[in-house]
Amino acid sequence: MEHNEQDEFFETLFRLDACDDTHEFLDFVQGKRHATKDLLTAASQLLSKGRVRSAYILAMLLAKRGQRHLTMSVALSVGGLIYGNSIEEENGLQHLQAQFDALSVEEQQKTYDHIVAPIVAHLWLCSIGKADNERVMRILQHFRAAVPDGFDWRAKVCKLCGGSAEYWFHAQVLGRYRVAYHLCEQCDFLFTEEPYWLAESYEGVIKRQEVDDKDDADGVARTMRLKEFVSMLLRNLFDAQGKFLDYGGSYGLFVRLMRDEGFEFYWQDNYCPNLFARGFEAVAAVEGEAESRYELVTAFECFQHFVDPVQELDHIFAQSDAVLFTTRLLPNPVPKADEWSYYALESGRHVSFYSAKSLRTLAKNKDLTFLSNGTDTHLLAKRHISSGVFKGISRWGG
């Protein structure tokens, strides 16, 4: 019975929070003497969702009851700053450091990841002017122990559109590097900090010919499906007699299959040996001569590996007027570090994550046509291509 009441409490509380009706939320939390433990749990969960206002209200209520807790200190200092109550801000800051320092290193990181990282972007977005920036830093400085030495919480420049990319979270890459991820406010492109660990990430692929994520157990089945899809696409929307390049072509299976279908495909890959399409390596352009022109470039599961996507795209478009690629679109809301396997934290090889908006923005900036099946298969082209035909083929062949 008690359990049901508790479930009901959380359900109502989160529902009212989601409605953004502060009065109703207040009436509910003050209307009955809810258990301190439940209010604290609720405050912590609200912070983890970036719901500062409701967490702040709960923290003030708990403070009136004479409670003290790290979660409350975070909610009070951040809420006080965002909603302009410097007394509550100071109340929060008063015990923050001592409470955080009392945790073990592991608990510090967990607490930081759970309730601090999700609100950093809110703090920046709500702060205007230099004085406020200093106040944001004054709060964040308390959590230095949970981030790498010298880490900077300020926004970076978006690699895709040049917009402002807010700090979003830290994740454990290759089991040992605490890596920061930034999300662009304008185009929803998510990217890691400068990937200094990549040499280590690719060591396995190059030396041990470790199986990469694109060559996993269903890699062959996927390549067979792609063969059907791309064949249809080429016959309907491109010059099927032209030359084609599979960029980042892995072991060459796709090139082999496409050649068997009668398409003149070439292979290129910086990390994988060519096992299936020997003799069909793309020849780099000789200086002074025009680069080889391809009717279409395919790039399967490559874009999430690109450290500099704009430069890579320019490189591709120097050789062709169209690129067909697969990369899974970043879900909305952005998943937390442990909620999306596509972050590929164990291999550390995925460093760029695109939303549909990111790809649309990229296309607009480069004056390209952008078509997508809405999940993982996309086309960028210099000329107009009928979205109806593309979507029809995607459905049928994908």
Considering the complex, state which of residue 112 and residue 189 has its C-beta at the smaller distance from Zn ion: 189
Considering the complex, state which of residue 224 and residue 310 has its C-beta at the smaller distance from Zn ion: 310
CB of 161 to Zn ion, least distance (A): 3
Considering the complex, state which of residue 43 and residue 161 has its C-beta at the smaller distance from Zn ion: 161
* 52 binds Zn ion per the rule CB under 5 A: no
Of 136-144, 179-187, 237-245, 302-310, the segment contacting Zn ion by CB under 5 A is 179-187
CB of 167 to Zn ion, least distance (A): 14
- Tell me the number of residues near Zn ion by CB under 5 A: 8
Considering the complex, state which of residue 41 and residue 186 has its C-beta at the smaller distance from Zn ion: 186
* 366 binds Zn ion per the rule CB under 5 A: no
Residue type, 53: R
Of 136-144, 150-158, 199-207, 253-261, the segment contacting Zn ion by CB under 5 A is 150-158
Tokens of 325: 């690629």
Residue type, 280: F
Tokens of 133: 């920036």
Check: CB of residue 313 under 8 Å from CB of residue 159: no
CB of 280 to Zn ion, least distance (A): 37
The 108-147 contact track toward Zn ion, x by CB under 5 A, reads ----------------------------------------
CB of 350 to Zn ion, least distance (A): 18
CA distance 36 to 289: 74
* Nearest CA-CA partner of 302 in 356, 237, 248, 227: 248
CB of 163 to Zn ion, least distance (A): 4
Tokens of 293: 């022109």
CB of 156 to Zn ion, least distance (A): 10
CA distance 138 to 152: 13
Q: Please, which residues have CB within 8 angstroms of residue 204's CB and are 6 or more apart in sequence?
A: 210, 347
CB of 333 to Zn ion, least distance (A): 17
Considering the complex, state which of residue 189 and residue 238 has its C-beta at the smaller distance from Zn ion: 189
CB of 368 to Zn ion, least distance (A): 16
CA distance 303 to 341: 16
Q: Of 184-213, which residues contact Zn ion (CB under 5 A)?
A: 184, 186-187, 189
99-106 long-range contacts, CB within 8 A, separation 24+: 99/68, 99/69, 99/70, 99/73, 100/70, 100/142, 100/143, 100/145, 101/145, 103/70, 105/145
Which strands sit side by side in the sheet containing 322-326, from one edge to the other? 264-268, 243-247, 296-300, 322-326, 377-381, 369-372
Check: CB of residue 190 under 8 Å from CB of residue 330: yes
CB of 157 to Zn ion, least distance (A): 9
Considering the complex, state which of residue 92 and residue 309 has its C-beta at the smaller distance from Zn ion: 309
Q: Residue 344 to residues 154, 218, 353: CA-CA distances in angstroms?
A: 25, 17, 11
Of 144-152, 157-165, 291-299, 318-326, the segment contacting Zn ion by CB under 5 A is 157-165
Considering the complex, state which of residue 158 and residue 379 has its C-beta at the smaller distance from Zn ion: 158
135-138 long-range contacts, CB within 8 A, separation 24+: 135/81, 135/89, 136/81, 138/93
Q: Which of 119, 160, 226, 272 binds Zn ion (CB under 5 A)?
A: 160
Other C-beta atoms closer than 10 Å to the C-beta of 281 total 15
* 163 binds Zn ion per the rule CB under 5 A: yes
Tokens of 129: 């002017």
User: Exposed, middle or buried by CB within 10 Å (0-12, 13-18, 19+), for 197?
Assistant: middle
Of 28-36, 87-95, 156-164, 169-177, the segment contacting Zn ion by CB under 5 A is 156-164
* 161 binds Zn ion per the rule CB under 5 A: yes
Considering the complex, state which of residue 223 and residue 355 has its C-beta at the smaller distance from Zn ion: 355
CB of 160 to Zn ion, least distance (A): 5
Considering the complex, state which of residue 184 and residue 345 has its C-beta at the smaller distance from Zn ion: 184
User: What are the residues binding Zn ion (CB under 5 A)?
Assistant: 158, 160-161, 163, 184, 186-187, 189
